[in-house]
Structure 1
Amino acid sequence: MPPENDPGLPAGPPPADEPTRVPLKIEDWLTVLIMAALALITFANVLVRYFTDSSFAWTEEFSVFLMILLAMVAGSAAVARDRHIRIEYFSEAGSMARRKRLAQFGALMVALLFFLIAALSVRVVWDDFRFEETSPGIGVPQWWYSVWLPIVCTAIGLRAVGLFVRRGRAGTP
C-alpha cells in the first residue's frame, strides 16, 4: 500500500513546530552530529575488521555512550515538541480546560522527574571524578561519559518547563 493511503499515517505535511525561546534546531543538529559520528565510527570499525581481522577497541564503548546521548537529546526534542508518550484516550478527552490542565500536569511531572535525575546524577559524576573511576573498555575517566547525564537531564527539564508555560497560555490545549 502506498504511504499516502496508509490509514495509520496522518494526512498532509507534518505540523509545524511551536515557536520556542530556545531554538529546536539545537537538538536537531545534535541528533545529526551524533548519528554521523555513530555511522563514521561503525564504518571505520567495519573497514578495519574486514582488512585486518581486528577491531578498534574503543568503538563499542564510545558507540554505547553516543547511543545513550542520542536517546537523551531526542527525548529533549520530543518534550519540547510535546511528542512524548501519553495515553491519548485520557489526554484528548474532555473540555479544553481539562486538556490544558492535563497537558500542564504532564509537563510539570516531566520537569520534576528530569530535574530530580539531574540532581541525583551530579553525585554520580562527583563520585566518578573523586574515586578516579575509569571506563571498562579503554580506561578513560568515567566522568567524561557521566557528566552529560545531568546536563542533558537539565535541558529536558527546562524544555518541559517551557512546554508547561506554553500550555498555560490561553487557547493552547
Structure 2
Amino acid sequence: MTRPPETGATEPVPEATDEATRVPLAIEDWLTVIVMALLALITFANVLVRYFTDQSFAWTEEFSVFLMIVLSLVAGSAAVARNQHIRIEYFADNGPEKRQKALARFGAAMVFLLFALIAVLSVRVVYDDIRFGETSPGIGIPQWWYTVWLPILSTAIAGRALGLFMRRGRRS
C-alpha cells in the first residue's frame, strides 16, 4: 500500500498482521461485525418507530445493553489474542528483550487467571438465575438467556490469554 499521491510520499505503509493462532481471529472479527450490525439495526428501527408513532419498542434498550456487553467481551478476546490489551507500554515495550518477554507472559497469565475466575464464578450466577426463575426487568424473559454468555465469553478470553502466554514462551 502506498500513500496518496497528493502527499508526495511513495513509501510503503506497513500493514498490521496478526500472529498465527490455532483458533482463527476471524471469529472475533465476524462476531464484532454481527453484533455492531444488530445494534445499528435495532436502534435504527426503534428511532423510526418512535418518529412515526410516538411509541418505542420496549425490548430494544434491554437488548442493546446485552449486545454492548457481548461486544465488549468479544473485543476483549480479540485484544488479548492480538496482544493489544491495556498495559503500560513504557515498561512492556522498552528495556531488555528478556524483561519484555517476562512481562508479556506475566500479563497473559494474569489475564488468564482473572477471566478463568470470572468464568467459574459466573456459572453460579447462571445457575442461580435458572434455579430461582429470574426474569429480565424490561421484557420478562429468563435472565439466564443473558447471563449464560458471561462464562462462555470469559472462557474464550481465558483461552486467548493462555494461547498468548504459550506463544510468548516460544518466541526467541
TM-score (norm 1): 0.91
Q: How far apart, in 1, do the equivalents of 2:118 and 2:46 lie?
A: 34
Letter matched to residue 140 of structure 1:
I
Runs of 5+ unmatched residues, structure 2: 5-11
Equivalent positions of 1:33-112 (< 5 A) are 33-112=34-113
Query: Residue by residue, what CA displacement relative to the aligned partner does 1:129-171 show, whole Å, maximum 9, x if unpaired?
Result: 0000000000000000000000000000000000001000132
Q: State the 1:13 CA deviation.
A: 3.6
Query: Residue by residue, what CA displacement relative to the aligned partner does 1:92-131 show, whole Å, maximum 9, x if unpaired?
Result: 2221111111100000000000000000000000000000
Q: How far apart, in 1, do the equivalents of 2:15 and 2:171 lie?
A: 24
Q: How far apart, in 2, do the equivalents of 1:110 and 1:140 lie?
A: 32
Q: How far apart, in 1, do the equivalents of 2:142 and 2:158 lie?
A: 27
Q: State the 1:61 CA deviation.
A: 0.1
RMSD: 1.4
- Which runs of 4 or more aligned residues in structure 1 lie more than 3 Å from their structure 2 counterparts after TM superposition? none
Count of paired positions: 163
1:7 is aligned to none
Cα pair distance change 1:43/1:170, threshold 3 Å: closer
Find the residue that maps to 1:20 and give its secondary structure. Answer: coil
Find the residue that maps to 2:18 and give its secondary structure. Answer: coil
Give percent identity, aligned residues only. Answer: 73
